[in-house]
A and B are shown apart, each in its own frame.
Chain A
Amino acid sequence: MSEPTPGRKASTTEQILDLLLDALAERQRARGSGPHAPAPAAAGEGKGTPTMTPAQAGEGRAPAPLPAPAREREVTRRPATLAEAATREPAPLPVIPPRPGEKGWQPPARLPSIQMHKFLARLVIAIALLVVAINIPIQRHGVSLARILPDSASLIIRDGLVLKGSGENIYMLQDEQLRWISSMDVFEHLGLTWGDVRVVGDTFLEQFEMGRPIYRIVKCKASPHIYALEEGKKRWIRDIETFTAEGYVWEDVQLVDCRYLRNLPDGVPIPEDAGPPPQP
């Protein structure tokens, strides 16, 4: 056990370990021969002289030379260690309590009840009431406390977002451009409600370019005339030049029922000097 491998010089650590193991073996032997039996290892100890281990002594071998610093440590440490090892009672090993689930483990004593379920029930009721309270509409527009804060900071920027600044105009965001919704007809035609309108600061609106306004341009199948719907009235658009000059595009034109169109009152034609509007 304590013999170094032939051809290899034992390291200091190995030597110290060997000495410790030998000391342990010594102590066991001393125990076996009686509580007060002298330790044989102590006999060979001398100040400043490296001592042979019992195993080495038994074989008549000299101890392996130690490097100088290690030798010094050995000389100063060893006598105390070995003497103590031989005479002192073995120190009790620290007892590691078994971990949960291991053999011999016992759960800690049960703690008395603190009636937590009553508190929990009250907490559940309180939060449920709070949820109801913050969802009750408190404004004439039906906005509840939970959603009363201006939400410009929480908007997801997306196409179709309806925004309103401090002015009257309402815009729809499309392709990162603000498109003015030109009338309530358009607003309703787009299927929007006031709940869809997000009131934001003007600075929030300023970050977007202005795009083409959204008009409601209609015609019916039986008539070649095109009208712009504004404020519940139909405004006749005189010709194609006017149509394009106003910024309308053909994609905006929707087909509606002729009777519906005829029933709408006439507004000012486009342009205003276009003359009396024809009926569809």
Chain B
Amino acid sequence: MKDLAVIETILRNRFHFFVEIRDGIGLKEKMRAMLISSLIFLAIYGAVMGSSASLWQALSSAAKLPLLFVATLVICSPTLYFFNVLYGSNQSLTQNVALMLTAITVTSVLLLSFAPIVVFFLLTTSGYQFFKLLNVAFFAVCGVVGVAFLSQGMRVVSSAGEEGARARRWVMWLWVLVYAFVGSQMAWTLRPFIGAPSMKFELFRQLGGNFYANIFASLGEVLGFFVVK
């Protein structure tokens, strides 16, 4: 319960939160609270997604969705840190990770807020492709807002007025692209999260294809151009 209080601070007093990260105040406590909150929210959202296929899928997605975010964070954080240092940032790796966790926390809390809508569509529609696209859209919206928070945080924490600030902003936006690519590939590797209704439960599906081709195929089926096989 205490850890959930960090959400209000991030959403309502974000600049104070960023200033505290900049000044290194209570970094460990903040990171722990953000990590716990994110894991809970993502696990719940994962369970909602997986419920469309089976109970096993729900449990599997509840475990895999937090794993997806944490693994992507671990893979991408050194890149942002070292490139920031290269362009004159004086942030520590911990501060960088704290900022990225802020973005993940915002994304996860927004996903949680979408969960009732996902449940509603889960109970009232039976289109697998539609359900998949709906979730992708929710992830995209929440991800964009999370990244916007990261951008604001970077401005505050890395002192935008100082030398190299412009370069660091470029680095951050390029890193966001890399993060999105790594995240989507990680999601593809850890799939299924929803579970196709006509297929048996499997913890991980065989590799092949890619995330983007699959989304286009789903879009094509939803719009009635072809049937995904």
Contact = CB atoms under 8 A, between A and B. Distances in A.
B51 A127 contact: no
A127 B41 CA distance: 10
Contacts of A161: 198
A91 interface: no
A135 interface: yes
B152 A147 contact: no
A95 interface: no
Nearest to A125: B44
B55 A135 contact: yes
B160 A100 contact: yes
A152 B159 CA distance: 56
B197 A155 contact: yes
B122 interface: yes
A: interface residue count bin: 35 or more
Contacts of B198: 151, 154-156, 158, 161, 198
Given A110-B13, A116-B11, A99 B155 contact: yes
Interface in B105-147: 109, 112-113, 115-116, 119, 122-129, 131
Contacts of B15: 100, 107-108
Contacts of B74: none
B1 A121 contact: yes
A100 B152 contact: yes
A177 B105 CA distance: 48
Nearest to A142: B55
B223 to A, nearest CB: 14
Contact of A127 (B2, B12, B119, B128): B119
B89 to A, nearest CB: 12
A69 interface: no
A5 interface: no
Contact of B51 (A111, A118, A146, A158): A146
A117 B8 contact: yes
With a 10 A CB-CB cut-off, give which of A101, A102, A110, A145 has the most chain B CB atoms: A101
Interface string A102-123: 1100011011011111101101
Interface of B: 1-2, 4-5, 7-8, 11-13, 15-16, 18-19, 40-41, 44, 47-48, 51-55, 58, 109, 112-113, 115-116, 119, 122-129, 131, 152, 155-161, 165, 196-200, 227-229
12 contacts: A100-B155, A116-B5, A116-B8, A120-B4, A120-B109, A124-B4, A127-B112, A130-B119, A146-B122, A154-B126, A156-B196, A156-B198
A-B CB proximity, top 6 nearest: A101-B160, A154-B128, A107-B15, A116-B8, A117-B4, A101-B155
